[in-house]
Amino acid sequence: MKPQDMKDLKELIEFLKHYQVAEFDLDRGDTKIRLKFEQSAASSASLADLARLVAAAPAHPAPAAPMHHSAPADPAPVAAAEPAEVLHTVKSPIVGTYYGSPSPGASPFVSPGDRVQKGQVICIVEAMKLMNEIEADASGEVVKCLVSNGQPIEFGQPLFTIREG
């Protein structure tokens, strides 16, 4: 594992501990990370906080073995290299199942790098056997899709990040 990947993993662990997240899974290609913590209080991070953290993680981290972290680590100071880019987040207006294309095997509505206009259909959320078209609420370039096809999603869960402009 590269030093930067280790640093990112340590920051992830500290973040999850700080917000008292009991369990966290990350599946990115051939990299799978599963973290479980014993919790004493019933406070947890918001989905938006977790999505921002995952979005900021490196695109191709080195594979990591499952970790069982029990000893508290000393928090390392985080150096600010440059201001983070502010991205618009498109959130789900309903609970349901996310679909990125109009039908199985069809090309996705949008992909990272695509330009979208406010009001353009960017995905479908199935709820109670109804297919609900979700529209972009901002114009710009799609930076990242934060959910997987067929994934159950919650109300207010971040779906996409868009660089406005």
Return mean pLDDT, the chain: 78
C-alpha closest to that of 126 among 155, 149, 95: 95
Q: Is the pLDDT of residue 80 over 60?
A: no
Residue from 138, 106, 144, 142 nearest 124 by CA: 106
The pLDDT score that the predictor gives to residue 58 is 56
Q: What confidence tier does 2 reach under pLDDT thresholds 50, 70, 90?
A: confident
3-class DSSP assignment, residue 100? coil
CB neighbours (10 Å) of residue 49? 16
Predicted local confidence at residue 159, as pLDDT:
94
The residue among 86 and 69 whose pLDDT is bigger is 86
Provide the pairing of β-strand 130-135 with 140-145: unpaired
pLDDT tens digit string along 7-44?
877 887 887 777 777 777 777 777 777 777 775 544 44
Find out whether 122 and 109 touch, Cβ atoms under 8 Å: yes
**Quick one: pLDDT band at residue 115, thresholds 50, 70, 90?**
very high
What residue type is 148 in one-letter code? Answer: S
Percent of the chain with pLDDT over 90: 43
Report which of residues 105 and 71 the model is more confident about. Answer: 105
Residue 129 or 49, more confident:
129
Q: From start to end of the chain, where are the E strands?
A: 23-28, 31-36, 88-91, 96-99, 115-116, 121-127, 130-135, 140-145, 152-153, 158-164
- Sign for the CA dihedral angle at 146, 150, 152, 154 comes to positive
The number of residues in the chain equals 165
**Distance (Å, whole) CA 33 – CA 148:** 16
pLDDT in tens, 144-155: 999 999 999 999
Domain 88-164: which CATH class?
A: mainly beta
Residue spans per domain, the chain: 1-82, 88-164
93 versus 49: the higher-pLDDT residue is: 93
